[in-house]
Amino acid sequence: MTELEHRTPDLAWNAWGTADAATPVSDQVRGLLEAFLGVEHRDTPSVDRSEVRLGETRLPAEARAALAGIVGDDAIRTDDETRLLHSGGKSTPDLLRRRAGDAGAAPDAVVLPADHDQVCAVLARCAEHRIAVVPFGGGTSVVGGVEPERGGFTSLISLDLRRLDRLVAVDADSRTATLQAGLRGPEAEALLAEHGFTLGHFPQSFEHASIGGFAATRSSGQASAGYGRFDAAVLRMRVATPSGELDLGRAPASAAGPDLRQLFLGSEGAFGIITEVTARVHPLPAEVESEGWSFPDFDAGSAALRRLAQEEALPTVARLSDETETWINLSAAHDVGEGGGPGGCLLITRYEGARVAVSARARALLTEAGGEPLGAEPAESWAHGRYHGPYLRDALLDVNALAETLETATTWSRLAETRAAVQDAVTEALAEQGTPPLVLCHLSHVYPAGASLYFTVVCARAEDPVRQWRRAKEAAGAAISRVGATITHHHAVGLDHRPWLVDEIGELGAQVLRAVKSAVDPVGVLNPGKLIP
């Protein structure tokens, strides 16, 4: 096995994650889907791998030779297997398309540079040869962020960063670590653990997503209440662009003009490729306390979280499910259909390391706010399944159902209005198509000024599920935009949220993005069609 092969994980081409972690839906759940959502009992499996249509590879020999001169010939892959694994991310329309056998947009080649300098050289060469470049980290985008959109270019490569997998440096005094962009979550954590540290960044995509992706999409992890968002953890970053390189960030804080890091954080590969990140790290927690709480309703639970945030008493993890999600999760954890389990809303709390010091104060505030402690079990049960959610989507797609998640964030004063607006819009858009949905909601990223809202939508699958999805997505986006919330709190913009970005930043904001783009990528080869309105 060569060094390069060693680094190709065994990921599913038509589903989330790895095939061995998939779990089919039980007959009992199928029964409930039929009873509650009218999902007709029918299997809707993916086509077989052998039936997938990939386009021809169109990388001109001259361009290939130029790239091979940089990365070596064995680091340019044009085999169908590798191209298929880079033919998109993990958004619901991505998966629906590939499950139907369509991978026609697959990149012409997958290029695997070994280091920052090779990334710089590849980008310069691609600009020269007019080859579109889609950066590829974990490939877990759920918003079309790594779709191989050609944007008018004839050829397109996927630039896979998996070989940039080193822990470059640890500064134990300053509690920072410098990590290469291609490191996956678990690899990064394993390397940091040798030094006694953790990033504390555990998004649902943790098992597969990469450091570069966390930065390029402003990822936020399940422990964001304690460790913060990934963008806030980044002190320094190296970025390769077709116009040259950037090394940004010299201090924990600065007044030296605009913060240019903030242009590349969230730039989703459209401005450059983040090759290295210096981020805050935390000691591996010696102590962990977990506790579930029950609140009479979502408003009471969110008011309690608001107090914790505003009184500087947040746990490391704080996660409040609405009534429906609470019912579903507790039923699933115990025995489906047992008769509902406890009512109200479940709050998961978890205190790690230094944050354990606030737990007594937090508990007092939660009690005062009407919460009832449920012991450790619900929090441990949540932790056990914390990365499993996306596999459930695949299982539902197999049984004639459709599942999708979407999220936003807003201020506390607009939280209830925003939640209702999104729920109503999605429900109406799907009901109109004859597939009334179940909409679950939780609140999982909490700030003194507001919080995120995360929605899970499940319904019967329509004749044309991509069209069905699109109509629901458009309704949700319009509702979010109308109430003045952000179109995405942690999923990024990609293809799917691009229509609403101009609402959010205005036409002049879009012009600013285009001006930056023309400075760093004048030919426009970087990730065409994503992000920029």
- Contact set for a second copy, span 345-374 (CB under 8 A): 354-355, 357-358, 361
340 C-beta neighbours (distance < 10 Å), count: 10
In DSSP notation, 500-517 reads: HHHHHHHHHHHHHHHHHH
Give the integer Cα–Cα distance in Å for 197 and 283: 4
CA of 429: how far to CAs of 95, 469, 470, 471, 481, in Å?
Answer: 21, 9, 10, 6, 16
Q: Does 219 bind a second copy (CB under 8 A)?
A: yes
Q: Does 339 bind a second copy (CB under 8 A)?
A: no
Interface residue with a second copy among 181, 199, 265, 438 (CB under 8 A) is: 265
Q: Does 485 bind a second copy (CB under 8 A)?
A: yes
Q: Does 286 bind a second copy (CB under 8 A)?
A: no
CB of 448 to a second copy, least distance (A): 6
Give the integer Cα–Cα distance in Å for 111 and 145: 18
CB of 495 to a second copy, least distance (A): 13
Residue (136 or 447) nearer to a second copy, CB: 447
CA 161 to chain centre: 17
Q: Which two structure tokens, joined as six digits, stand for 281? A: 């790290």
Q: Return the range that interacts with a second copy (CB under 8 A); candidates 15-23, 244-252, 286-294, 318-326.
A: 244-252
Q: Does 26 bind a second copy (CB under 8 A)?
A: no
Interface residue with a second copy among 271, 293, 351, 469 (CB under 8 A) is: 271
Strand pairing partners for 176? 171, 280
Residue (231 or 404) nearer to a second copy, CB: 231
Give the integer Cα–Cα distance in Å for 94 and 380: 32
Strand pairing partners for 321? 442
With CB under 8 A as the rule, give the number of residues binding a second copy: 93
| Residue 38 CA neighbour count, 13 Å, CB half | 9
Kindly report the backbone phi and psi dihedral angles of residue 184, in degrees, each rounded to the nearest multiple of 5, phi listed first. Answer: -80, 160
CB of 247 to a second copy, least distance (A): 6
Residue (175 or 467) nearer to a second copy, CB: 175
Q: Return the range that interacts with a second copy (CB under 8 A); candidates 44-52, 78-86, 103-111, 508-516.
A: 508-516
Q: Does 245 bind a second copy (CB under 8 A)?
A: yes
Give the integer Cα–Cα distance in Å for 197 and 192: 5
Q: Return the range that interacts with a second copy (CB under 8 A); candidates 71-79, 113-121, 395-403, 502-510.
A: 502-510
Residues 6+ apart with CB under 8 A from 99: 14, 45, 46, 47, 397
Interface residue with a second copy among 11, 68, 505, 523 (CB under 8 A) is: 505
CA 469 to chain centre: 18
Q: Return the range that interacts with a second copy (CB under 8 A); candidates 15-23, 257-265, 371-379, 393-401.
A: 257-265
Q: Does 79 bind a second copy (CB under 8 A)?
A: no
CB of 235 to a second copy, least distance (A): 6
Residue (26 or 174) nearer to a second copy, CB: 174
Residues 6+ apart with CB under 8 A from 174: none
Residue (1 or 515) nearer to a second copy, CB: 515
Interface residue with a second copy among 220, 321, 400, 433 (CB under 8 A) is: 220
Mark residues 156-175: x for contact with a second copy by CB under 8 A, - for none.
Answer: ---------------x-xxx
Which positions from 172 through 211 interact with a second copy, judged by CB under 8 A?
173-176
Helix (H, G, I), strand (E, B) or coil at 78: coil
Q: Does 244 bind a second copy (CB under 8 A)?
A: yes
Which positions from 299 through 338 interact with a second copy, judged by CB under 8 A?
306, 310-313
Interface residue with a second copy among 241, 329, 359, 435 (CB under 8 A) is: 241
CB 61 within 8 A of CB 131: no
Q: Does 520 bind a second copy (CB under 8 A)?
A: yes
Which positions from 409 through 438 interact with a second copy, judged by CB under 8 A?
409-414
Residue (121 or 396) nearer to a second copy, CB: 121
Kindly report the backbone phi and psi dihedral angles of residue 418, in degrees, each rounded to the nearest multiple of 5, phi listed first. Answer: -65, -45
CA of 484: how far to CAs of 302, 419, 439, 487, in Å?
Answer: 19, 12, 21, 9
Nearest to 46 by CA among 23, 18, 24, 15: 15
Give the integer Cα–Cα distance in Å for 348 and 385: 13
Residue (59 or 409) nearer to a second copy, CB: 409
Helix (H, G, I), strand (E, B) or coil at 50: helix
Q: Does 28 bind a second copy (CB under 8 A)?
A: no
Residue (52 or 516) nearer to a second copy, CB: 516
Q: Return the range that interacts with a second copy (CB under 8 A); candidates 100-108, 331-339, 432-440, 507-515.
A: 507-515
